[in-house]
């Protein structure tokens, strides 16, 4: 019955009112964690501790206010420091955008910010990343964080992303890199088998260091940026940007060639 009441309220309140209520609820829930030890750049919160997250329950990984985790905060810094995302007039397509990023990026007046997802009802468009229903050259930027490892035909998805980018446009296409060489087997189908072979029940492959080659085969110019390793250690710790403590995360910056 409670779920029905929530659905009734959600269907009748304006989106801006619902957003304000969600933010107020999260702010109140985060008050017990208030402090000065950690900082989340997406919501601006400062905390004495963050929440554990992931199968291994990584300590101080999840923001207690906006629910960002390390990869979201790292992307925020990368976009601010290495791109014109926060200043240029860009049309952006963001796949599987978590709520904290939808809110942070949706506030940027310079962006025409579009979200898409295959199952998430909060996305603006219900869409398969391997079958993007936008015309060629529709976007200046595409963002996809930890999506392609869930997609059966990731090569088609890469080509689709390339297609909808304008010449000279760029994408950041992050996946978990867990091996030397990518491994996938169509015979591995059950959640139990996927957990054993890929490390998560809903993954369909385990990406390796050859991931960049797969992106290049799709037609991208790829820069594998060791951005995290260049950041000040105090900043990395304060904003909790590193998942494994080894500074191993790389940013996969993928550009579509401009017209000659």
Range in 95-99, 239-243, 255-259 the model is least confident about:
255-259
Residue 54 lies in a domain: no
Residue 6 lies in a domain: no
Structure tokens at 222: 């790829």
pLDDT tens string 189-239: 999 999 999 988 999 999 999 999 999 999 999 999 999 999 999 999 999
Domain count of the chain? 1
Residue 135 lies in a domain: yes
pLDDT tens string 133-187: 999 999 999 999 999 999 999 999 999 999 999 999 999 999 999 999 999 999 9
* CB-count burial class (<10 Å; 0-12, 13-18, 19+) for 246: exposed
| CATH code, domain carrying 92 | 3.40.50.150
- Residue 104's Cα: distance from chain center in Å? 12
What domain range is 218 assigned to? 70-255
Provide the whole-model pTM: 0.87
Residue 130 lies in a domain: yes
Residue 15 lies in a domain: no
pLDDT tens string 40-97: 999 999 999 999 998 888 999 999 999 999 999 999 999 999 999 999 999 999 999 9
Residue 52 lies in a domain: no
Residue 213 lies in a domain: yes
Residue 160 lies in a domain: yes
The string over 66-95, giving b where at least 16 C-beta atoms fall within 10 Å of a residue's C-beta and e elsewhere, is bbbbbbbbbbbbbbeeeeebeeeebbbbbb
């Amino acid at each position: 019955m409670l779920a029905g009441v929530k659905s009734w309220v959600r269907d009748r309140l304006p989106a801006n009112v619902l957003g304000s209520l969600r933010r107020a609820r999260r702010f109140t829930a985060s008050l017990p964690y208030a402090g000065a030890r950690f900082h989340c750049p997406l919501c601006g919160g400062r905390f004495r501790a963050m929440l554990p997250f992931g199968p291994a329950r990584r300590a101080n990984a999840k923001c207690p206010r906006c629910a960002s985790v390390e990869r979201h905060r790292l992307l925020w810094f990368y976009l601010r420091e290495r791109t014109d995302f926060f200043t240029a007039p860009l049309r952006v397509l963001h796949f599987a955008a978590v709520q904290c990023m939808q809110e942070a990026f949706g506030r940027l007046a310079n962006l025409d910010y579009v979200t898409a997802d295959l199952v998430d009802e909060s996305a603006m468009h219900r869409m398969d990343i391997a079958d993007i229903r936008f015309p060629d050259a529709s976007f200046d930027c595409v963002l996809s964080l930890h999506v392609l490892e869930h997609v059966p035909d990731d090569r088609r998805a890469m080509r689709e992303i390339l297609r909808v980018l304008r010449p000279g446009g760029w994408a950041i296409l992050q996946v978990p890199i867990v091996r030397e060489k990518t491994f996938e087997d169509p015979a591995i189908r059950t959640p139990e088998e996927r957990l054993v072979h890929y490390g998560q029940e809903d993954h369909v492959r385990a990406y390796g260091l050859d991931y960049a080659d797969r992106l290049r085969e799709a037609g991208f110019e790829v820069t594998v940026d060791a951005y995290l390793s260049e950041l000040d250690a105090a900043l990395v710790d304060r904003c909790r940007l590193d998942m494994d403590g080894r500074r191993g995360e790389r940013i996969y910056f993928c550009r579509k060639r401009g017209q000659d």
